[in-house]
Amino acid sequence: MKWSKYFIPTMKVPPKDAETISHKLMFRAGLIQKLASGVYSYLPLGLKVLKNVENIVREEMNKAGGIELLLPALQPANLWKESGRWQKMGKDMITFIDRHGREMLFGPTHEEVIVNIVRQNINSWKQLPILLYQIQTKFRDEIRPRFGVIRAREFLMKDAYSFDIDENGLENSYQKMKETYGKIFTKCGLKFTIREADSGVIGGKFSEEFVAEGECAELEVGHIFKLGIEYSKKMNAVFVDKEGKEKPIVMGCYGIGISRIVASIIEGNNDKNGIIWPFTVSPFHILIVPVNLEENLIRNISEKIYLNLNEKFEVLMDDREESPGVKFSDADLIGIPLWIVVGKKIKNQKVEIKIRKENRFVEVDLENIEKWVFDFTNKIH
């Protein structure tokens, strides 16, 4: 991608309401833009990171045997009356009366919807266990939205639901998800701790939350619940066991805040100059910085490096007619892990590669760039 043909509106000054480093940097680096209180647009760089995190989550969920589906945001109130949560949710839930007078809501969570699907399609022990998940936008009318995408009114979540024949099965499913969550957060470059938590309006008998390390103390990036038979009993989700006896399905549920992970990664990976993306989630792997586009040699060689690397990596080339100062400070801000700086040393067939995380430059021969980058990426994987 050429910077001049892309859309990265970087800013010098963070918005007034930004309290956390991630909120400030997501805005300044052109990742998000505020539309209303707790409502954000993801600009191209921000969306790329969001998608990278989403794909890491999907890959690990599939490895754990999860089956992906997609549930609607719109839900009928009667399902929530069945589970008894219609009254419990309070003003956090966005509800409305549709044009035909029916009570509807925008889902802050999807236990009722998934139980409704399962009770209509699963009725035998032979169909269990099953682990269903989705990656989908959720809505919550937060009383005080803040910290940018960390406490927002519209956010992207992965929510998974396990269905087992008994408590042992639930224990297995729960432990597998706990392990999977560890892999996901580690792959995203997050350090985290796990602690026992309050199950709140989700319910159930036991839950643990994954808290990302960082300056921002706010909530969790993951939360896993042993729900047991709470929903199954209320909503009559039953199966016939090996002996022919009807029993309620034993359930667990497992949430990850995808958009929240993006902010948490920044909380844990930044310096005074900007973001330092882990390679796995970075919007681009490599940034090519020609220091002066008016010099033919610099321009041509930069173009050549770009074309070559672009086939193997996600590459951004800063082809703007800006001073090296502006280019370097924007480069620091948006945090691409490797920069290839094409400057005066190109006369001697050399470029400088900056490792953003270590804040140091390495001189590399033109002909060795590709090998150097491959070696670097192999080391960190």
Residues that bind a second copy (CB under 8 A): 5-7, 9, 33, 35-37, 39-44, 46-47, 50, 65, 67-76, 91, 94-96, 98-100, 102, 104, 106, 113, 116-117, 120-121, 130, 132, 137, 139, 141, 143, 153-154
Closer CB to a second copy, 106 or 284, in the complex: 106
Closer CB to a second copy, 154 or 220, in the complex: 154
Q: How many CA atoms lie within 13 A of 115 on its CB side?
A: 26
CB 341, min distance to a second copy, A: 24
| DSSP secondary structure code for residue 290 in this structure | E
Tokens representing 52 are 């990278």
Closer CB to a second copy, 141 or 197, in the complex: 141
Closest to 90 (Cα-Cα) out of 98, 75, 80, 102 = 80
CB 67, min distance to a second copy, A: 5
CB 56, min distance to a second copy, A: 17
Q: How many CA atoms lie within 13 A of 53 on its CB side?
A: 30
| Sign of the four-CA dihedral 30, 263, 377, 178 | negative
Tokens representing 11 are 């800013």
CB 50, min distance to a second copy, A: 7
- Cα separation, 276 vs 282, in Å, equals 9
- Cα separation, 40 vs 150, in Å, equals 11
CB 59, min distance to a second copy, A: 14
CB 130, min distance to a second copy, A: 7
232-248 as b/e: b if 16+ CB within 10 A: bebbebbbeeeeeeeeb
353-361 long-range contacts (CB < 8 A, ≥24 apart) are 356/276, 356/277, 356/331, 356/332, 357/276, 359/271
H or E stretch including 114? helix 111-121
CB 274, min distance to a second copy, A: 19
- Cα separation, 63 vs 181, in Å, equals 12
Closer CB to a second copy, 51 or 183, in the complex: 51
Closer CB to a second copy, 72 or 200, in the complex: 72
Closer CB to a second copy, 154 or 352, in the complex: 154
Closer CB to a second copy, 2 or 350, in the complex: 2
CB 343, min distance to a second copy, A: 25
CB 286, min distance to a second copy, A: 19
223-226 long-range contacts (CB < 8 A, ≥24 apart) are 223/197, 223/254, 223/255, 224/174, 224/177, 224/178, 224/181, 224/252, 224/253, 224/254, 224/255, 225/199, 225/252, 225/253, 225/254, 226/170, 226/174, 226/252
CB of 149 within 8 A of CB of 260?
yes
- Cα separation, 64 vs 66, in Å, equals 6
Closer CB to a second copy, 96 or 374, in the complex: 96
Closer CB to a second copy, 40 or 174, in the complex: 40
